[in-house]
């Protein structure tokens, strides 16, 4: 979950069992009965008539929010560069189960890819650690 004001920085999706601080949020609010997510202390500043306050609630600082936003934007920028490569692989290999490699448009190293005929998805990974990898 993206960091923001009025949300605990340890907050996770309601699909997760534990928050990043290790709290079992469902147990904290009294179990899985209807409306449990509305009683989470994670959203809304840890206050409200139905919220079970959490002593580990901590809002992110503006610096933390800005750093996360920059990291997300960096990822978006990478995929804006890689998306034309993915589209070309799909266009050139429609109906084929095939793998190959190209020069990565982000770092210039080798980018390995696999195209699946069944669904047309492309999976890829750059040789450079932490550059780009994806699975459709």
Overall number of domains in the chain? 2
96 in any annotated domain? yes
What pLDDT score was predicted for residue 49? 65
Give every CB contact of residue 135 below 8 A, 6+ residues apart in sequence: 121, 123
10 and 52 in a single domain? The answer is yes
Residue 92 lies in a domain: yes
Residue 66 lies in a domain: no
Do 53 and 5 share a domain, yes or no? Answer: yes
What is residue 50's predicted lDDT score, i.e. its pLDDT? 62
Q: How far is CA 78 from CA 81, 120, 122, in A?
A: 5, 21, 16
Whether 3 contacts 49, CB under 8 Å: no
Residues 1 and 51 reside in one and the same domain: yes
Residue 35 falls inside a structural domain: yes
Pair (48, 82) in one structural domain: no
Per-residue pLDDT tens digits of the chain, which is 136 residues long: 688 888 899 999 888 889 999 999 888 888 877 788 888 888 876 776 666 788 899 999 999 999 999 999 999 999 999 999 999 999 999 999 999 999 999 999 999 999 999 999 999 999 999 999 999 9
45 and 84 together in one domain: no
Are residues 23 and 32 in contact, defined by beta-carbon separation less than 8 angstroms?
A: no
| Residues 54 and 83 both lie in one domain | no
Q: Are residues 11 and 39 in the same domain?
A: yes
Q: What integer pLDDT is reported at residue 32 of this predicted model?
A: 79
Predicted TM-score of the model (pTM): 0.68
Give the residue numbers spanning the domain of 83. Answer: 78-135
Residues 52 and 83 in one domain: no
- Decide the pairing of beta strands 98-103 and 110-115: antiparallel
How long a stretch of residues is the chain?
Answer: 136
Q: DSSP string covering 49-100, please?
A: TT----TT--BPPHHHHHHHHHHHHHHHHHHHHHHHHHHHHHHHTTT--EEE
For residue 36, what pLDDT is reported? 83
């Amino acid at each position: 979950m993206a960091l923001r004001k009025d949300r605990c920085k340890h907050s996770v999706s309601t699909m997760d069992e534990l928050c990043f601080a290790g709290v079992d949020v469902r147990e904290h609010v009294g179990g899985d009965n209807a409306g449990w997510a509305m009683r989470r202390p994670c959203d809304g500043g840890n206050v409200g008539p139905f919220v079970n306050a959490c002593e580990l609630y901590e809002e992110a600082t503006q610096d933390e929010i800005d750093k996360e936003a920059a990291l997300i934007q960096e990822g978006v920028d990478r995929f804006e560069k890689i998306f034309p490569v993915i589209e070309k692989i799909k266009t050139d290999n429609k109906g084929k189960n095939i793998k190959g490699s190209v020069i990565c448009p982000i770092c210039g190293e080798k980018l390995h890819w696999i195209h699946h005929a069944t669904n047309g998805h492309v999976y890829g990974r750059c040789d450079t650690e932490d550059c780009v990898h994806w699975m459709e």
